[in-house]
Structure 1
């Protein structure tokens, strides 16, 4: 793995081989979404009776949530490995500023994620507002902006990976929707999933973001060396995403309270 030691203030310096890796990763991300979308539909039509009873737009969302779940697993595992199990961001190894460290692995992860967000955003716009409203468009737009800047500049990879790890909550969100349209809102698995979503969201989208901002504060001398567009983006985009996470967390809490109350009355 090659580590970036840039401390400059402009985007650039990538060679043709690296640019081809970026492009192939983005296209690979899009291809994964297309394949999983169709595979999800094919498998669901055979394994789940409820699938054939869904409206056409619900089938689109069902398949769409299939590839969003796969993307969540891919980027969460990659982020976890890079952040905790690799030596890429260890501070005591003398590899230069943490904000300037990157690898082929992190570049590839970002490219795949860009491919996913482009695919999902295109579907949201095409079927608007059936697959999501303005808040989803804002979330995807901010995510694309941040990931693309990190990929092109080779900076702030650690922080973007932290944000991408928060996608680990997506499978719980999708499972809740699947159970809802399948008429399983009163089932035990719906309750257990709601509890898992609560703790997952609390850990990955609330506590992790607190650590994120604390890490930025402790390393602000390094953060200031990021090129201007990336620096100001890092100061504005994560706080906006954090506010959205808090808003959605409040809705999750209210939904969980309602679900637990209904379950207790049934018992």
Structure 2
């Protein structure tokens, strides 16, 4: 590459960086670009995952070829769910426990703090929930019943409000830490669909799900409610709708988590009993 080509390339690179900085990642546009990005990524992943899983699964899972069409769609959909879970869990753990954004030693009210990164992460999650909710409605009830619809609708409203208003993002990310359990839940479905329900991997995964669910969806929710109680004077500074979301949505999700946890305990107990 000669000097003229290098200069032309550098010029295009500078223009692209300026476009991203001034438009795509400008503070007023971050919510919208991140939502569109989340939808685009999910749709692209779906088609890429479809081809990739067909290639891998037909080689390593003999039962894949015997799956029904809707089971193969769910197989691919759960792969996208796993990618989103890994992304948003990483973002949530960093912002809640590692960054200084929500630390108590800052002067600004903890319920009103946000950043470009935190807003961007929520936007990606909104894009995912829109796509996944659309898939659930399109194939209803094959990809999930009413409980999944309720879960996704509440999550979508709460995350979207927090993203657009900048309010209560700490508590939104605390709830999103619960996505830690999603890869294990999806792996359980994969092992079951692949005819490996009696395998050692299925048992180990069940134990991991139990402890992950206990920590991320039970204990962490208790801690979140305690945190809301300690900082309720700051919660009251939010708009009324935001206050309702901070209390009501996690409460509904917590009840659902307890109901699902009881099923996890029964399933794990049943699996352990069969192995004795």
| The two structures share one fold, judged by TM-score above 0.5 | yes
Higher relative contact order (CA 8 A, sep 6+): 1
Distance (Å, rounded) in 1 between the aligned partners of 2:114 and 2:135: 31
Distance (Å, rounded) in 1 between the aligned partners of 2:130 and 2:242: 20
The alignment status of 1:178 with 2:210, answered yes or no, reads no
Residue 4 of structure 1: aligned partner: none
Please list the CA deviations of residues 63-98 of structure 1 after superposition, one character each: whole Å capped at 9, or x if unmatched.
00000000000000001111111110111133x110
Runs of 5+ unmatched residues, structure 1: 1-15
Residue 192 of structure 1: aligned partner: 204
The equivalent position to 1:159 in structure 2, one of 171, 179, 184, is: 171
Please list the CA deviations of residues 13-37 of structure 1 after superposition, one character each: whole Å capped at 9, or x if unmatched.
xxx9434211110111111211222
The alignment status of 1:24 with 2:33, answered yes or no, reads yes
Residue 21 of structure 2: aligned partner: none
TM-score normalised by L of structure 2: 0.88
Residue 104 of structure 1: aligned partner: 116
Distance (Å, rounded) in 1 between the aligned partners of 2:188 and 2:275: 16
The alignment status of 1:42 with 2:51, answered yes or no, reads yes
Residue 203 of structure 1: aligned partner: 215
Distance (Å, rounded) in 1 between the aligned partners of 2:204 and 2:148: 25
Residue 260 of structure 1: aligned partner: 272
The 5 A counterparts of 1:1-267 are 17-49=26-58, 50-94=63-107, 96-264=108-276
Distance (Å, rounded) in 1 between the aligned partners of 2:26 and 2:43: 26
Partner of 2:78, secondary structure, is: helix
TM-score normalised by L of structure 1: 0.91
Please list the CA deviations of residues 125-152 of structure 1 after superposition, one character each: whole Å capped at 9, or x if unmatched.
0000000000000000000110111111
Distance (Å, rounded) in 2 between the aligned partners of 1:233 and 1:43: 39
Q: Which moved more, 1:24-33 or 1:167-176?
A: 24-33
C-alpha contact (below 8 Å) 1:32/1:67 kept by paired residues: no
Residue 10 of structure 2: aligned partner: none
Distance (Å, rounded) in 2 between the aligned partners of 1:92 and 1:18: 25
Distance (Å, rounded) in 2 between the aligned partners of 1:161 and 1:151: 11
Shift of 1:52: 2.4
Partner of 1:124, secondary structure, is: helix
Aligned residues: 248
Whichever of the two has the greater Rg, that structure is 2
Runs of 5+ unmatched residues, structure 2: 1-24
Distance (Å, rounded) in 1 between the aligned partners of 2:85 and 2:255: 21
Distance (Å, rounded) in 2 between the aligned partners of 1:155 and 1:44: 39
Distance (Å, rounded) in 1 between the aligned partners of 2:213 and 2:275: 22
Shift of 1:56: 0.5
Shift of 1:45: 1.4
